[in-house]
Amino acid sequence: MNTKLNGMYSALLTGFSDQEELDEARQRNIVEYNLRQGLAGLYVGGSTGESGLMSTDELSEQQGIVADATKGSGAKLIAHVGQPSLRDSIRLAKNAERLGYDALSALPPHSYKFTSDEIFEYYKALAAATDLPLIVYEVPGRIGRESTVEELSKILQLSGVAGIKFSSMNLFILSQLRKYHQDKVIYFGSDETFMTGALSGADGGIGSTYNVFGKLYVALDDAVASGDIALTRRLQRISQDYVEILFRTGVMPGVKLSLQHLGVDCGPCRAPFRVLSDTAKADLQVFLDDPEIRSWLAA
């Protein structure tokens, strides 16, 4: 198996100004905190980064900011380029290639209920557009249905496709993909159940809460690999307790509130995102200030 892209990647947040404009200084703050956590790299411009609320020009600019902010760090960069329009996806892909990114990724086309053949052709065109390896994406909630092993295998066999981000809870499909595509990298996309994906054959993870707890997820991945079940369960429980709070506050707003509490000036989310709970800030602070939890945050 090609292990170049294996590991744990933060699904990077986007730094906005108080007026909700792309803010370079705040973006760099978010990158800097992530780089202190021992992660393999950053997944830039994905759903966690509020890409669905950003223009193609903004996403292109963000790619440049992150590329510059990570120079010399050794962090690998995966550019998410999945846009409603294939033309815009290819434009972002070419920009990422020019900037020296290590790989591309993309949601399947999701503005309409596209057929499996249309999704295949989308990935075929995107994979052919650059020389960068492409990570495809299984995310049933965005296309309205679960893909079959056969559909995903057909895409994985495309020239230029290096792997898949698997954000489905059908672990039998994940294990089948691992069985039949041992040369492909598989990332698991569910933070709160990462250990189940790792035990089913994932080579790493890509997650929203890694922005705050990247250090913990790296340790969790190592614990699974070493067979330390007790530590695996303990770390996954911390992750689940955090996600439970985030579900009450709103995931992206809650992660940004968490970083702000840790001293990272990251800015707000872009509307219509909002904090869902009046007690969100206090709940997060109590959790993050617990000494056991604090030990898993970046120094």
Q: Which two tokens stand for residue 190?
A: 């569910």
- Render 18-80 in DSSP notation, one character per residue: TTS-B-HHHHHHHHHHHHTTT-SEEEESSGGGTGGGS-HHHHHHHHHHHHHHTTTS--EEEEE
CA atoms within 13 A on the CB side of 85: 6
Clarify whether 33 is annotated catalytic.
no
Select which of 165, 184, 215, 256 is catalytic. Answer: 165
Select which of 137, 187, 210, 242 is catalytic. Answer: 137
Nearest to 35 by CA among 83, 97, 98, 77: 77
Cα separation, 180 vs 199, in Å, equals 16
Clarify whether 165 is annotated catalytic.
yes
Cα separation, 56 vs 60, in Å, equals 6
Q: Which two tokens stand for residue 75?
A: 């962090």
Residue holding tokens 């990077």? Answer: 12
Task: Give the H/E segment covering residue 9.
Answer: strand 7-11
5 φ/ψ angles, rounded to the nearest 5 degrees = -100, 5
19-27: long-range pairs with CB below 8 Å, 24+: 20/268, 20/270, 20/271, 22/54, 22/58, 22/61, 22/62, 23/267, 24/65, 25/265, 26/265, 26/266, 26/267, 27/62, 27/65, 27/66, 27/69
206 φ/ψ angles, rounded to the nearest 5 degrees = -135, 120
Cα separation, 162 vs 116, in Å, equals 19
Helices and strands (H, E) in the chain, number of each type: 13, 8
Active-site residue list: 137, 165
